[in-house]
Amino acid sequence: MKKHVVVIGGGVAGLEVAGQLSHSGIEVSLIEKESKTGGHLNNWYKLFPDRRKSSEVKEYLDRLSQNQGISLLTNTTIEGFHRNRNKFLITTNKGKELNADAVIVATGFDLFKSARKEEYGYGIYDNVITSADLEEKFRREEIVLVNGSVPETIGIIHCVGSRDEKVGNFYCSKLCCVTAVKQAIEIREQLPESKVFCFYMDMRMGGAFYEELYREAQEKWGVNFIRGKVSEASETIDDKLTIKVEDTLAGRPLKMKLDMLVLMAGMEMSDGGKKIAGIGGLRTGENRFFAATDNHTSSNKSNIEGVFYAGTCTAPMNITETISHARSAVLEVIDFLKDGKS
């Protein structure tokens, strides 16, 4: 009899997992809380490091997961999660009951709610936006201020909601620095007259071709990098934003006016994932993401036999790593389903 696996979450990890499992002859129920799959990938315009279109990756994932062995349940959330001997009983919000031989949790991440960093004025000052908001502007090819005019000076603040004791996130979200550099280049591309300033604590370019992108941003696009944490943003009488930052490398405080401020919002454990952790008895780490049983050798395994993790629900990671992580989750599941042990 065919084995049945429930995959919770239809983002990058969930789609990869579902597609690969189905190709291996396993029946899959893919549960997605939104009305369509893709998760955050739907919001990104172009992906680092090569700035290729996110739609290409989405197309690949769609092709992979268009399989008769996958039953896709959209607008569906999990209300019940019980282990019954060696099977799992999953109940959805629509009252559907699913019996699974194994479960893969791929609930992903939520972007940090930037309004929590009150000093940056997100949701209060007109032209303070997040990196996600900026992607939307790239998509529409319309980088404009609230009053419709084109911004001339744009500031990008790194580490919003990450590496920050005040909001309870000690960890680094890993991808915001390279996103900032990518977005800085994209702004300069679309608005050749603009001046872009990145305010960083560190430049974390830990991925293939990331440092080269940073170099390109400086050399080819003239993006300015100022090392220092922006302490506050305020609105001036002429509707610009004025920021205060310590120019640490000059050893003096610096102030400047900007037309627009982009906040690099960090990644947090998703609300959906937190709920599953609660009802399923799954352990989370100090960073509130799911805790795998071993950091090095079994980063897909949860504390419950038969329940596995794939993707950013365990830690911030980029799309390349998410897909790799998803594939390793599939391997773990196949192994598990062979002899009922993991």
Partner 1 sequence: MVSHKMNNFGFKISQGRQIDYDSNDRRIANYIYEREPSFRLCIECGGCSATCTTGNHTKFSLRELHILIKRGENKSVRQDLKKCMLCGKCTMVCPRGVNTRNVVILAKQAFQKSDEYAI
Partner 2 sequence: MKLEGKKAIWSEYQKEIADDKFFYVRSCIRQNFFPGSEVAFLRIMRDVLKKDVYEHPCHTTCSGIGYHGDVVPVETAMTVVARQFALMTEAGYSNYIPSCITSFGLYTEILDTWHHFPEVEEKVRKQLKKATGREFEKPKNLAHASDVIYKFRKEIAAKAKYKLINKNTGEPLKVVDHIGCHYAKMFPSKGVGGAEYPYVLAGMIEEWGGQIIDYPERRHCCGFGFRQYLVQANRGFSVACSKEKFESMKPFKPDMIITNCPGCPMFLDRWQYVINEMEGKRYGQNGEGIPVFTYEEVAGLVLGYDPWDLGLQMHQTDCEPVLDKIGIEYSPEDKYNLEVIPSHTKNHNLINV
Query: Rule CB under 8 A: which residues touch partner 1?
Result: 203, 215, 218-219, 222, 224-225, 227, 244, 247, 249-257
- The CB-side HSE value for 84 (13 A sphere, CA atoms) comes to 11
Binding at 236: pick from partner 2, partner 1, none (beta carbon under 5-8 Å per type): partner 2
248/303 with CB nearer partner 1: 248
Distance CA 24, CA 265 (A): 37
Report the site for partner 2 in 94-133 (rule: CB under 8 A): 115, 118-119, 121-126
| Nearest approach, Cβ of residue 146 and partner 2 (Å) | 10
Q: How many residues sit in the footprint of partner 2 (CB under 8 A)?
A: 15
Burial class (CB in 10 A: 0-12, 13-18, 19+), 93: middle
Which residues are within 8 A (CB) of 22 and not within 5 positions of it... i.e. 6 or more apart?
A: 28, 65, 67, 69, 70
176/198 with CB nearer partner 1: 198
3-state SS, residue 12: helix
Binding at 254: pick from partner 1, partner 2, none (beta carbon under 5-8 Å per type): partner 1
- Cβ–Cβ contacts within 10 Å for residue 95, how many? 7
118/202 with CB nearer partner 2: 118
| Nearest approach, Cβ of residue 235 and partner 2 (Å) | 6
Residue 86 structure tokens: 């060696």
66/242 with CB nearer partner 2: 242
Report the site for partner 2 in 217-246 (rule: CB under 8 A): 232, 234-237, 242
| Nearest approach, Cβ of residue 215 and partner 1 (Å) | 6
215/283 with CB nearer partner 1: 215
The H or E element that residue 181 is part of is helix 176-190
Contact 332, 339 (CB under 8 A): no
Contact 15, 64 (CB under 8 A): yes
State the residues that interact with partner 2 by CB under 8 A: 115, 118-119, 121-126, 232, 234-237, 242
